[in-house]
Amino acid sequence: MVMSPTAASVADALLAAVPPEAGLQEGGGADLLVRLRGLLGVVLLTVGAWALSVNRRRIPWRIVLWGLGLQFIFALLILRTPFGEGVFATANDVILAAVGFTLEGARFLFGDLVYNNVPVGTGEPGNAGFAAEGRVVARTGAFVAFNVLPTIIFFASIMTVLYHLGVMQRIVGGIAWVMQRTMRTSGAETLSAAGNIFVGQTEAPLLVKPFVDRMTRSELMAVMTGGFATVAGGVMAAYAGMLVGFFPDIAGHLMAASLMSAPAALVVAKLMVPEEERAATAGQLKTEVERPDVNVIEAAARGASEGLKLALNVGAMLLAFLAMIALLNAVLGWAGGLV
């Protein structure tokens, strides 16, 4: 099972809380200490955020307790109920299908370079799958450039179209309604946290754009924490494309992790920077989003342009930081040789 540390901790903690005779554990005879690993992770993360709080006396414990509770509830619904398992499987299939659709556009532009098992210049036929073999790497040296980055562009375009049609507003609004009714967080920070499940850190705040300039310090902390805690749709699809050969259900796991991380982000934000002011959107929840596009075609084109910027940034960051790591390794190796 592949999840973010937070989601994995919650899932493990959920299993630890259920007695072995219930038959819910994947390995019924697993050692109790192993099954308690997740619970320990949740406790340590919560205590760490509390220790770093700017005002421990103002911590809203209702938000903390309900946030932790929602993670357990989401984990139980997604991983241990027939309905949740069906949604889980459907989300996995939809994301992987969309990754496959990306290949059609990428193949038109790049030809056989989109295949991750074609040596350059050999003329050998490629394999149309993202994962041609179990552990094949891109012998072209261009798998990320010609497979992963186009996925980000396509998903950015799809998300923009769904927002233009009002589909995402309903999904995000439903999740935000559940979190706000239970945790009593402000409308703006709750919408942003729910939006981050599907879109990135730059797009989610657009859901609450009219309120950003009036947000309190605690709300801004919640918006930023939510962006770092979850996985954007385009990046999620890119991860799924790279890892599907190792974990066939990876897309569903990533979606589950992103969903469970939304209330976790609000918990951490409210522990570290508790609310000390009156939020402008307290008790409100409006999911109206500005629609700057005239029609679906314009929305798709704008999303593709924004996705291109994100893809180029991702590629540039990978190039720069991997090169930095190589430089650091070389320097450390040289320094070690002097000893």
Which segment of 58-72, 115-129, 154-168, 235-249 scores lowest on mean pLDDT? 115-129
The confidence score (pLDDT) of residue 12 equals: 56
Q: What is the pLDDT of residues 89-100, one digit of tens each?
A: 888 888 888 888
Let me know how long the chain is: 339
Burial class (CB in 10 A: 0-12, 13-18, 19+), 178: middle
DSSP per-residue string spanning 173-192: HHHHHHHHHHH---HHHHHH
Of residues 12 and 97, more confidence is placed in: 97
Of residues 237 and 34, more confidence is placed in: 237
Q: Does residue 254 carry a pLDDT above 60? A: yes
**8 Å CB contact between 147 and 130:** yes
Binning pLDDT at 50, 70 and 90, where does residue 284 land?
low
| Residue 319 in tokens | 């190039």
Of residues 66 and 286, more confidence is placed in: 66
The confidence score (pLDDT) of residue 271 equals: 93
In eight-state DSSP terms, residue 46 is H
CA distances from 97 to 139, 241, 287 (A): 24, 10, 28
Binning pLDDT at 50, 70 and 90, where does residue 138 land?
very low
Q: Does residue 152 carry a pLDDT above 70? A: yes
Q: Does residue 109 carry a pLDDT above 70? A: yes
Q: Does residue 11 carry a pLDDT above 70? A: no
Q: Does residue 86 carry a pLDDT above 60? A: yes
Mean pLDDT, the chain, whole residue set: 78
pLDDT > 90 fraction of the chain, expressed in percent and rounded: 17
Which residues make Cβ contacts (< 8 Å) with residue 339, sequence separation at least 6?
none
The Cα–Cα gap between 166 and 261 comes to 24
The Cα–Cα gap between 120 and 135 comes to 19
pTM of the model: 0.70
The Cα–Cα gap between 274 and 304 comes to 38
Q: What is the pLDDT of residues 178-213, one digit of tens each?
A: 887 888 888 788 888 888 887 777 777 777 776 778
The confidence score (pLDDT) of residue 136 equals: 42
Binning pLDDT at 50, 70 and 90, where does residue 281 land?
low
Q: Report, in angstroms and rounded to the nearest whole number, the Rg of the chain calculated over CA atoms.
A: 22
